[in-house]
Structure 1
């Protein structure tokens, strides 16, 4: 069970939140996780890679031999810390600061990654935001637009820009959510974007299958990331994750290895699929 410091966690008033202010700090990689060069020589670009699931993915990729580029919004301290941890794994890290809602920035992020490393093999679309609202009438048009532009438009922008560089056996991995399958009465717009990501994953996988470029997704349940204290408060924050069968929120370290699987040859016969890491919720799809 995660013992959340409510007072400290509620100090985070803006998204996407800061990992270094969280109490407890999320676990992003297990000390006993053994890398086996599954991604040796690969170049991976991860949006929202400075913290949470994105950071966990970056660290697991680095331990498996990949070099990393991470996109982050404005969390400089988290990004620099993540870079240090990636480099401590014996890898390299390129930091790309910007707003994924901006298509030109997304194009630039792809171009800078390829210019810096010479190629791109794995694109992880992961950045997201959410604005909880108890009623549909409380969802502002502005927040609705920001949620869609961040959570699905950016995935399209980055994937489109990556097409000129991805080749056979390269991969795209999208982060969707359990809310895409069971819905969420207080995250209607967010859940809708996550449903769109599922359809985007399935459709793009069919389009790219002839090129042997695989497209899959991960659908996390309640995971302890900076987005949670940045968007929930009070009892909603204190009880986060307690309603799943395993009775607790998950750690990013429990999600990161799924991205390694989908990026590596271990999943060579998988495309258009979604891996569900949600604490035991039984859902369709």
Structure 2
């Protein structure tokens, strides 16, 4: 179910966010060998950026574990419908919440609609993000810098502020950071900086949330085959994507989602303020 770099042809998309439906080969988000065991039975999860990529796979794996899902996305409606179809295929409910997460009022509204629909909120996955290729420091545009921080960092504050009042003891906040928070990436300077901020947000929020019984953790993926790749990079860079890690291949979304299941479940009841590293074998600082 994995793919090798030589199976990834040159490709890019002019549309931002890019669409999973237009990628070749299609990312693999549902592992048929993964059998749910009610780890999240009747829980409710809100996942940002769940129309595609890692977010879609997390939504599907949560459904396999018995959770209902609210999918937040910008405007990739066809991709989001595929996520909804996949979640409902496993007998769980799914609502779609399109909108701009840079707007704090939308973030609060999305949480309110989730609670109105499902009656509760147990898991918040702050996953949505954008990235821009920046060959040098001089290529970092002020407006673009504001946009990437608003999307990748500020929205996590908005959603978490809105969600926490509805969460019960045992609930979880899970933030998607990146290998780039630990190693840096000279060509993705602003993106890597936001991912470092997310790491600090995760660690800083974990202890004060303990008094509410809420755990806060993160996942730092390596190179994963998602719409992020043909979105940010020119087609000649996308060709052969994923060679840089010890496993010498890109990860699939379905290989990342179980980390989110673990952190949301009772199996991780003694874990908070920590980050998991599904990155193809790269050793980074904890």
User: Once superposed, which parts of structure 1, at least 4 consecutive aligned residues long, lie more than 6 Å away?
Assistant: none
* Equivalent in the alignment of 1:4: 8
- Please give the alpha-carbon distance, in whole angstroms, between the structure 2 residues aligned to 1:188 and 1:5: 26
Q: Deviations over 1:41-79 (max 9, x none)?
A: 100000000100000000000000000001010100001
- Please give the alpha-carbon distance, in whole angstroms, between the structure 1 residues aligned to 2:249 and 2:86: 27
- Please give the alpha-carbon distance, in whole angstroms, between the structure 1 residues aligned to 2:35 and 2:28: 16
* Equivalent in the alignment of 1:266: 267
- Please give the alpha-carbon distance, in whole angstroms, between the structure 2 residues aligned to 1:5 and 1:184: 23
**Could you state the TM-score of these two structures normalised by the residue count of structure 2?**
0.97
What is the SS of the residue equivalent to 1:184? coil
Which structure 1 segments of 5+ residues have no match?
none
* Equivalent in the alignment of 1:224: 225
- Please give the alpha-carbon distance, in whole angstroms, between the structure 2 residues aligned to 1:224 and 1:104: 32
Q: Deviations over 1:2-56 (max 9, x none)?
A: 41232xx32x112221011111000002111100000001000000001000000
* Equivalent in the alignment of 2:86: 85
What root-mean-square deviation, in Å, do the aligned CA atoms of Structure 1 and Structure 2 show? 0.8
* Equivalent in the alignment of 2:17: 16
| Contact 1:15–1:227, Cα closer than 8 Å, also in 2 | no
Deviation at 1:239, TM superposition (A): 3.2
Matched, 1:72 2:69: no
What is the SS of the residue equivalent to 1:277? coil
| Contact 2:8–2:240, Cα closer than 8 Å, also in 1 | no
Moved more, 221-230 or 233-242: 233-242
Deviation at 1:164, TM superposition (A): 1.2
What is the SS of the residue equivalent to 1:203? helix
- Please give the alpha-carbon distance, in whole angstroms, between the structure 1 residues aligned to 2:237 and 2:38: 40
* Equivalent in the alignment of 1:116: 117
| Contact 2:44–2:69, Cα closer than 8 Å, also in 1 | yes
Q: Deviations over 1:108-154 (max 9, x none)?
A: 00000000000100000000000111101011111111110000100
* Equivalent in the alignment of 2:216: 215
* Equivalent in the alignment of 1:103: 104
* Equivalent in the alignment of 1:35: 36
Aligned 1:228-239 pairs, distance under 5 A: 228-239=229-240
- Please give the alpha-carbon distance, in whole angstroms, between the structure 1 residues aligned to 2:102 and 2:115: 21
| Contact 1:126–1:174, Cα closer than 8 Å, also in 2 | yes
Matched, 1:155 2:156: yes
Deviation at 1:234, TM superposition (A): 3.2
| Contact 1:216–1:272, Cα closer than 8 Å, also in 2 | yes
Deviation at 1:185, TM superposition (A): 0.2
